[in-house]
Amino acid sequence: MVPRRIVLVLVAVAFCGLFLGAGQETPNSPKEVTYNRDVAPILYKNCVKCHRPNDIAPMSLMTYKDTRPWARAIREAVVQRKMPPWHADPKVGDFMNDPRLTDEEIATIDGWVRTGTKEGDAKDLPPAPTFPEGWHIKPDVVLTIPEFTVTGGSQDDYEYIYVPTNFTEDKWVQAAEVLPGDRRVVHHATVSVIAADKVAKKEEENSKADAGVDKYHYRTGKVLHLRKDAPVVDDGCSSPDGGGVPGKGSGYLNIVPGIYLPGHLAETRPPGYALRIPAGSYLQFQVHYSNHTGDDVKDRTSIGLVFAKEPVKHEIAQYEIWNDLFLIPPNDGNHRVTSCYTLPKDVTVLAYTSHMHFRGKSMTTEAIYPDGRHEVILNVPHYDFRWQETYFLKNQFLLPKGTKLVTTAYFDNSFDNAQNPDPSKAIRWGEPSDEEMMGFWLQFADPKLVDEKAAVAQK
Q: Rule CB under 6 A: say whether 50 interacts with ligand HEC.
A: yes
Task: Candidates 7, 73, 200, 398: give the one binding ligand HEC (CB under 6 A).
Answer: 73
In the complex with ligand HEC, the residue whose CB is nearer, 263 or 447, is: 263
Q: Rule CB under 6 A: say whether 62 interacts with ligand HEC.
A: no
Q: Rule CB under 6 A: say whether 180 interacts with ligand HEC.
A: no
Task: Candidates 83, 230, 317, 445: give the one binding ligand HEC (CB under 6 A).
Answer: 83
Q: Which stretch binds ligand HEC (CB under 6 A): 47-55, 232-240, 286-294, 431-439?
A: 47-55
Helices 71-79 and 103-114 meet at what angle, rounded to 10? Answer: 150
Compute how many residues bind ligand HEC; rule: CB under 6 A.
Answer: 20
Task: Return the bridge partners of 14, or none.
Answer: none
Q: Give yes or no for a contact between 432 and 422, defined as CB atoms under 8 angstroms apart.
A: no
- In whole angstroms, give the CA distance from residue 179 to residue 298: 14
HSE, side-chain direction, 13 A CA sphere, residue 151: 8
Task: Candidates 33, 39, 40, 47: give the one binding ligand HEC (CB under 6 A).
Answer: 47
CB of 18 to ligand HEC, least distance (A): 27
In the complex with ligand HEC, the residue whose CB is nearer, 99 or 311, is: 99
- In whole angstroms, give the CA distance from residue 71 to residue 55: 20
Q: Rule CB under 6 A: say whether 294 interacts with ligand HEC.
A: no
Q: Rule CB under 6 A: say whether 191 interacts with ligand HEC.
A: no
In the complex with ligand HEC, the residue whose CB is nearer, 57 or 237, is: 57
CB of 45 to ligand HEC, least distance (A): 8
In the complex with ligand HEC, the residue whose CB is nearer, 109 or 327, is: 109
Q: Which of residues 255-274 bind ligand HEC (CB under 6 A)?
A: 265
HSE, side-chain direction, 13 A CA sphere, residue 380: 28
Q: Which stretch binds ligand HEC (CB under 6 A): 81-89, 129-137, 246-254, 409-417?
A: 81-89
Q: What are the distances in angstroms from CA 93 to CA 13, 128, 375?
A: 38, 32, 11
In the complex with ligand HEC, the residue whose CB is nearer, 384 or 436, is: 384
DSSP state of 122: G
Nearest-5° Cα angle at 92, 91 to 93: 115
Q: Which stretch binds ligand HEC (CB under 6 A): 51-59, 213-221, 227-235, 429-437?
A: 51-59
> Which burial class, exposed, middle or buried, applies to 451 when counting CB atoms under 10 A from its CB (0-12, 13-18, 19+)?
exposed
Q: Give yes or no for a contact between 143 and 300, defined as CB atoms under 8 angstroms apart.
A: no
Tell me how long the chain is. 459
CB of 73 to ligand HEC, least distance (A): 4
Among 403, 412, 262, residue whose Cα is nearest residue 337: 412
Task: Candidates 3, 27, 53, 58: give the one binding ligand HEC (CB under 6 A).
Answer: 58
Q: Look at phi and psi of residue 362 and say left if phi exceeds 0, alpha if psi is from -120 to 50, else beta.
A: beta
Q: Which stretch binds ligand HEC (CB under 6 A): 10-18, 43-51, 167-175, 225-233?
A: 43-51
Q: Rule CB under 6 A: say whether 46 interacts with ligand HEC.
A: yes
Q: Look at phi and psi of residue 120 and say left if phi exceeds 0, alpha if psi is from -120 to 50, else beta.
A: left
Per-residue binding letters, 378-397, with ligand HEC (x by CB under 6 A): --------x-----------
- In whole angstroms, give the CA distance from residue 178 to residue 392: 17
Residues in Cβ contact with 396 at an 8 Å cutoff, skipping those fewer than 6 apart:
270, 273, 348, 349, 350, 445
Q: Which of residues 91-130 bind ligand HEC (CB under 6 A)?
A: 99, 101
- In whole angstroms, give the CA distance from residue 401 to residue 272: 22
CB of 101 to ligand HEC, least distance (A): 6
In the complex with ligand HEC, the residue whose CB is nearer, 239 or 353, is: 353
In the complex with ligand HEC, the residue whose CB is nearer, 85 or 111, is: 85
Q: Rule CB under 6 A: say whether 77 interacts with ligand HEC.
A: yes
In the complex with ligand HEC, the residue whose CB is nearer, 76 or 89, is: 76
DSSP state of 102: P
Q: Give yes or no for a contact between 374 and 368, defined as CB atoms under 8 angstroms apart.
A: yes
Q: Rule CB under 6 A: say whether 70 interacts with ligand HEC.
A: yes
Name the site residues for ligand HEC (rule: CB under 6 A).
Answer: 46-47, 49-51, 56-58, 70, 73-74, 77-78, 83-85, 99, 101, 265, 386
